[in-house]
Chain A
Amino acid sequence: MIVYRYLAEVLFYALVCLTFAGGIMAVRSKMLMHAVLGLAATLFGVAGLYFHLGSPFLAMMQILIYVGAVCIIIVLGVMLGNTPDQLAAKNLTGRSLPLALLACATGFISLFVATISRTEFSPAKEKVGDMSIEFVGENLLLQYCLAFELISVILLTAIIGAIILARGGREGKTS
């Protein structure tokens, strides 16, 4: 049984490496299509981390919604508005590398040194329920019912807004 735990630990390291490698690929690649590929790798890695955190349901939802829907939408956006070559070449050099690195270093150090390493997070005394899908669904339909309905309204608004925005200039072009 102990072998499986070490196997899970090795898999955890592999998932973290996949997440970070995808992130670096997404921000350092010249072509936008490679950036989307890096984003997809990161999303797969985060889905694996959700699995480690004890929620296979959320891991499946991550793959289904993020990798299956959001990445495909971004790929469509990349293909419809193709980036010129000069702009793509400038992607790597960027606007101001020192400023970007400074912002990242400041953010990470302030998060890590000031917050994560100092705070003592004490776990709850007693837990109600478990991580199962049944319990999630019960909470979603009883306690968080209003938020659940609002999400569906937001998605409907987004669909209608996206259609209206994307077909905006088309009549002007044909006439």
Chain B
Amino acid sequence: MKIKTGLLVILGLLFIGCGKQAPVPGVTDTEILIGNIQDLSGPMKELGAVLPAGSRLYFRYINEKGGVHGRQIKMLVEDHQYNPQKAVVAAKKLIEKDQVFCLFQVIGTSTCEAIRPLLAESGTPLIAPATQSGTMSDLSRPAGDLIFHTDTGYDKQTNILVDYILKQDANAKIGLIYQDDDYGQNVLKGAAEAEDRTGVSIQKEAFQRGATDFTGQVGNLIKGGANHVIIAGVVKEPIIVMKTAEKMGYSPQFYGTSPTMDHRVALAAGPAGEGFIAANFAHLWNSDAPAAVQYRELCEKYEVPEAYMGMYHFYGFITAKVLVEGLERAGKNPTRKRLVKGLETLNKWDSGAFPPITYSSKDHAGTESVILVQVKDGVQTVITDWVD
């Protein structure tokens, strides 16, 4: 008797097990699970908590509205400490153990590059990697068809900046200060393209990641006579470069790639940073763009602490919008393939913050334009529309 009951129970459990088994990883009738890998305790930990918080803000809004096709969005965040090896471990955990539907917003270039083989092997899409490296949208690389880039690449940004400079001043002598790593290499690629296209020659000065002294580079630029200088740094570098130039009595027009587009640059550089022009791949969080208005409303509604609000939090918010749009387009029964197909139907789609996004099976770059933001009287002011 007991054996029979036991067998029945086991059989019953087996059937339940079969019935419950989700055909698509990470998707149940009520929930979509996505994975996010951030730098929470490494060199970029300031961004690590802020980016997903911005995304959570939008997910919360969507979830309270009833979710995507009736499914709530749930996001798991892992830490990679900006180490590619750890990023692979984290991605493996999310994909194999937690069974996420897709990856989202993984930060860093080398970390995203490192998880490419894993994405290709498991067929997991990665939406909106949080890096502006143009290599992300290279379809010839492994998993290129699974990665959807939202930001305008550094190479493209450099091209746009050079064009902008030449439009202002046809006889411009252009200098470039770049970080000697993967970021800088992508900038150099853009600079080389611009040189080929326009015929100007750009004076290039490298610095090591983490450098705090730029006297040598600025001195060389003075010797070379550059009167327009592009700084491909993050936040600290443009501040120090501009202050050093001021001390050395050198006053070219300074430009910066998107990572320098932080309000702290204007604040810390003071008078030396006046007139600094930075490229940005999205509207400012405090602008009148529709997504920015919605963002500020939601921040108020959900009582987001003021310390969080800003460019990076907003970036998390708008990339979440892209993901949600993709999930909407993936249909009522989403699969990873349908998500890819859904995103590839985006055609000049207006997120309200990014330039119009277009994806196709031959193009995963999404956007190719930037706005230019200039520091005027210590305040960042948008001076152009989308330029490409």
Are chains A and B native binding partners rather than an unrelated pairing? Answer: no
Q: Using a CB–CB distance below 8 Å, which chain A residues touch chain B?
A: none
